[in-house]
Structures are given as structure tokens and as C-alpha cells.
């Protein structure tokens, strides 16, 4: 399992981006969470198998038709808090 922490910049709030991220994670079996930050970015912590995580990261980086991801800061993380699922947190 690999664990990643991501901060997504761009038009990622108010466009259904968290729900899109959750849907992508659930399709791929990725566990973790996504939330809006007060600075207009979206934060994600996720874990999964390497190939699955690579696909998840690429899908999130591309976003969906209403979003516009300008930059993604990605780093490794030691822990990802989840209850065996992927959730939208507030």
C-alpha cells in the first residue's frame, strides 16, 4: 500500500470536485478522505495499491468538466485516517 497527501489548486471548490474525487476513489477501491480548505484548495489523503493510486492521482489531476486543476502538490504520508472507505469530510 502506498499513502499520499495531496493539495489540489485551481477551480476545485463549488464545482462538485469532492464528490468527483470520492466517486473515482470508490471505483478504484482507494481509501481515505477529501475536504475543502479555507484557502480555496482541496486536500486529499488516500491509500491504495501502487497501480491503483497512480490511476487515482491521474484522474484527480485531470478533474472533471466543471473543474480546472492547475497544480497538485503530492507527498508521501505515514497515515491515512479512514474507516475502510473514502469519505468527503468537512
Q: What is the pTM of this model?
A: 0.96
| For range 13-20, the mean pLDDT | 97
Residue 56 backbone phi and psi in degrees, to 5:
-60, -50
Q: What is the pLDDT of residues 47-72, one digit of tens each?
A: 999 999 999 999 999 999 999 999 99
pLDDT of residue 11: 98
**Catalytically active residues, by annotation:** 18, 36
What's 2-79's CATH class?
alpha beta
Predicted confidence (pLDDT) at residue 24 exceeds the cutoff of 90: yes
**Which of 34, 79, 37 is closest to 59 using CA atoms?**
34
Amino acid at each position: 500500500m502506498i499513502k499520499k497527501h495531496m493539495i489540489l489548486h485551481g477551480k476545485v471548490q463549488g464545482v462538485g470536485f469532492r464528490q468527483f474525487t470520492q466517486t473515482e476513489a470508490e471505483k478504484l477501491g482507494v481509501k481515505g478522505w477529501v475536504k475543502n480548505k479555507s484557502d480555496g484548495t482541496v486536500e486529499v489523503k488516500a491509500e491504495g495499491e501502487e497501480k491503483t493510486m497512480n490511476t487515482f492521482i491521474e484522474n484527480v489531476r485531470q478533474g472533471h468538466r466543471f473543474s480546472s486543476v492547475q497544480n497538485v502538490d503530492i507527498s508521501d504520508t505515514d497515515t491515512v485516517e479512514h474507516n475502510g472507505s473514502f469519505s468527503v469530510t468537512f
